[in-house]
Structure 1
Amino acid sequence: MGAIKISPDYNWFRSTVPLKKIIVDDDDTKVWSLYDAGPRTVRCPIIFLPPVSGTADVFFHQILALTGWGYRVITLQYPIYWDLLEFCDGFRKLLDDLHLDKVHLFGASLGGFLAQKFAEYTHKSPRVQSLILCNSFSDTSIFNQTWTANSFWLMPAFMLKKIVLGNFASGPVDPVMADAIDFMVDRLKLLSQSGPAVGSVKRELRYGYMDGHKHCDCSTAMTEPVFDQSALSTDAKEEMYKLYPNARRAHMKTGGNFPYLCRSAEVNLYVQIHLRQFHGTRYAAIDPSMVSAEELEVQKGCSAPSTETEES
């Protein structure tokens, strides 16, 4: 059994934060699973979108830390959507159901791509206040470099899972990163053959790219490159830099594919720093009464990832 799954933090999270299930479409098989923690008075929370192999609980470190500082945090697990527009419409309905006008989105890998597509989809009536993109991509044509990419949408679930697992780090890794990989493999195994991650990715790896004229309506876009081994290619990272030339980057030396699990303290501090610019506005993701305590935590933070702003 993996170390994370039996850790006190994970068990405390599972025993204190209930998993909710919400249906917003006419099709009652499309069920959103989510954790919603922190003050409900916050009307512009940060929502975490997982990678293809992830369930809503992969961000449990972020829920525990950020809600402790006064933030409202929502983490999601997607229903089965076979079309990007269908996904975006379903996500919009979910925000309506939660009575959320605008949100901050943290997207990891596929979750980052979907976050960008949703910002693009709602650009005429923006629903995304800011983006944090972790090991993400902007154009699914990068997957066409492999012979399997064009046939992903035809593959049975077990083959797709094998390919996804093949992207995880191989060879020696430090124990914390190894635990993160084990946990993500376990999460992937929990997804059924027609599970949400499999359904979300099959067709979208055939085509999909960001419209540069529509994606920039959110006030801030941030990328979070990890410099050690990860499934994201250098070309994919460079494309992201071109798309968001003014984005502030958090440079993390290590973290692999899942820094939010194995380098959670750095990621949490980075998220705090990003969200501070919205304190005192209607787009604050934190309870105003908790701001002073949160500022102290930021000041005490150590080993923070370095950040910089790239100018075009």
Structure 2
Amino acid sequence: MEEIKVSPDYNWFRSTVPLKRIIVDDDDSKVWSLYDAGPKSVRCPIIFLPPLQYPVYWDLLEFCDGFRKLLDHLQLDKVHLFGASLGGFLAQKFAEYTHKSPRVHSLVLCNSFSDTSIFNQTWTANSFWLMPAFLLKKIVLGNFARGPMDPKMADGIDFMVDRLESLNQSELASRLTLNCQNSYVEPHKIKDVAVTIIDVFDQSALSLEAKEEMYKLYPNARRAHLKTGGNFPLPVNTFVKTSAARKHLQASLSPRQMPSFWFPWKPKVSWENVEEPA
């Protein structure tokens, strides 16, 4: 974890980019937290889930309604969504939720899924709110890789464990509930949304079947493959995250619509070329 937290890139970001806290619900305890980066002139920005932090919501409809209110508050008619793991599932559900009046221009889905039944926890989803925090953390940590691993992957896991420790019981229980309650993506409702799928070649919690299901769901999606990264490729390969977003947007937008990306450093990463589906 220290490797990431003391890195110049991480500290530059935390010291330069402001963290905003926004309330859009009637309940003042429901606070959205986001890092506001990029030029204000971009009216269709890309939003990353995470690090966008959402309040305690106990069902997907409630989350989607809250996210819609957030976009209204930010005066954003449409956005690009980059979602990792649960964030990717929530991004798909929001695109589905707004399909009659589209708010999502495109999706980048990293290590994500389309059906919560793959976790075999739908029968316990409604009881997470009763469980103590230590037990909820144990459930999450059970999916983390163990044993010898690449130092960067170990740093990524340590970083995410540290973030996990920052969540209180209700925050953790609500996220597990959203992750496991019985739900799936209805692809016909978002068939007009451009999609890029990013997968990791090495060990991750997602099964090969879950990845194949994503390919079937989005047969025309662009595909990117990372050689390493495990369950948390984004903390491990920060530049890959931005590179993937750039490649995706270049394929989805005209040059005039492209938001600018500024790299204050030149990291060395291994990026597999985007592969078109057969």
TM-score (norm 1): 0.82
- The answer to whether the 8 Å contact 1:103/1:127 transfers is yes
SS in 2 for 1:150: coil
Residue 251 of structure 1 corresponds to 225
1:153 maps to a residue whose letter is N
1:136-160 per-residue CA deviation (whole Å, 9 max, x = no partner) reads: 000001111xxx5521431323222
Query: What is the rounded CA distance, in whole Å, between the counterparts of 2:250 and 2:178 in structure 1?
Result: 37
Q: For residues 172-191 of structure 1, what are the structure 2 equivalents within 5 Å?
A: 172-191=148-167
Query: What is the rounded CA distance, in whole Å, between the counterparts of 1:153 and 1:103 in structure 2?
Result: 31
Residue 65 of structure 1 corresponds to none
Query: What is the rounded CA distance, in whole Å, between the counterparts of 1:303 and 1:4 in structure 2?
Result: 18
Query: What is the rounded CA distance, in whole Å, between the counterparts of 1:309 and 1:89 in structure 2?
Result: 34
- The answer to whether the 8 Å contact 1:270/1:305 transfers is no
Residue 259 of structure 2 corresponds to 285
Query: What is the rounded CA distance, in whole Å, between the counterparts of 1:273 and 1:2 in structure 2?
Result: 30
Query: What is the rounded CA distance, in whole Å, between the counterparts of 1:247 and 1:150 in structure 2?
Result: 32
Residue 210 of structure 1 corresponds to 185
| Unpaired stretches in structure 2, ≥5 consecutive residues | none
Name the Cα RMSD after superposition.
2.2
CA drift of 1:215 comes to 2.2
Query: What is the rounded CA distance, in whole Å, between the counterparts of 1:12 and 1:211 in structure 2?
Result: 40
1:38-96 per-residue CA deviation (whole Å, 9 max, x = no partner) reads: 1011011110012xxxxx2xxxxxxxxxxxxxxxxxxx101011111111111011001
Residue 97 of structure 2 corresponds to 121
The answer to whether residue 272 in structure 2 is matched with residue 305 in structure 1 is yes
Q: Which runs of 4+ in 1 moved over 4 A?
A: none
SS in 2 for 1:216: coil
The answer to whether residue 19 in structure 2 is matched with residue 22 in structure 1 is no
1:266 maps to a residue whose letter is V
CA drift of 1:110 comes to 0.3
Do the aligned partners of residues 149 and 171 (structure 1) sit closer, same or farther apart at CA in structure 2, a change above 3 Å counting?
A: farther
Query: What is the rounded CA distance, in whole Å, between the counterparts of 2:244 and 2:224 in structure 1?
Result: 7
1:137 aligned to which of 101, 105, 113: 113
Highest RCO, 1 vs 2 (Cα 8 Å, sep ≥ 6): 1
The answer to whether residue 66 in structure 2 is matched with residue 90 in structure 1 is yes
1:109 aligned to which of 57, 70, 85: 85
1:116-143 per-residue CA deviation (whole Å, 9 max, x = no partner) reads: 0000001111111110000000000111
Percent of pairs identical after alignment?
A: 65
2:195 aligned to which of 221, 228, 236: 221
Query: What is the rounded CA distance, in whole Å, between the counterparts of 2:115 and 2:190 in structure 1?
Result: 13
- The answer to whether the 8 Å contact 1:45/1:284 transfers is no
Query: What is the rounded CA distance, in whole Å, between the counterparts of 1:257 and 1:122 in structure 2?
Result: 29
Residue 207 of structure 2 corresponds to 233
Residue 46 of structure 2 corresponds to 46
2:124 maps to a residue whose letter is S
| Unpaired stretches in structure 1, ≥5 consecutive residues | 51-55, 57-75
Query: What is the rounded CA distance, in whole Å, between the counterparts of 2:214 and 2:270 in structure 1?
Result: 25
Query: What is the rounded CA distance, in whole Å, between the counterparts of 1:215 and 1:276 in structure 2?
Result: 20
2:49 maps to a residue whose letter is L
Residue 4 of structure 2 corresponds to 4
Query: What is the rounded CA distance, in whole Å, between the counterparts of 1:182 and 1:302 in structure 2?
Result: 20
TM-score (norm 2): 0.91
Residue 216 of structure 2 corresponds to 242
CA drift of 1:304 comes to 2.8
Residue 165 of structure 1 corresponds to 141
1:151 aligned to which of 108, 112, 124: 124
- The answer to whether the 8 Å contact 2:225/2:274 transfers is yes
CA drift of 1:22 comes to 0.3
1:210 maps to a residue whose letter is V
1:102-125 per-residue CA deviation (whole Å, 9 max, x = no partner) reads: 110000000000000000001111
- The answer to whether the 8 Å contact 1:43/1:285 transfers is no
Query: What is the rounded CA distance, in whole Å, between the counterparts of 2:179 and 2:200 in structure 1?
Result: 24
- The answer to whether the 8 Å contact 1:117/1:215 transfers is no
Do the aligned partners of residues 115 and 203 (structure 1) sit closer, same or farther apart at CA in structure 2, a change above 3 Å counting?
A: closer
Query: What is the rounded CA distance, in whole Å, between the counterparts of 1:203 and 1:40 in structure 2?
Result: 32
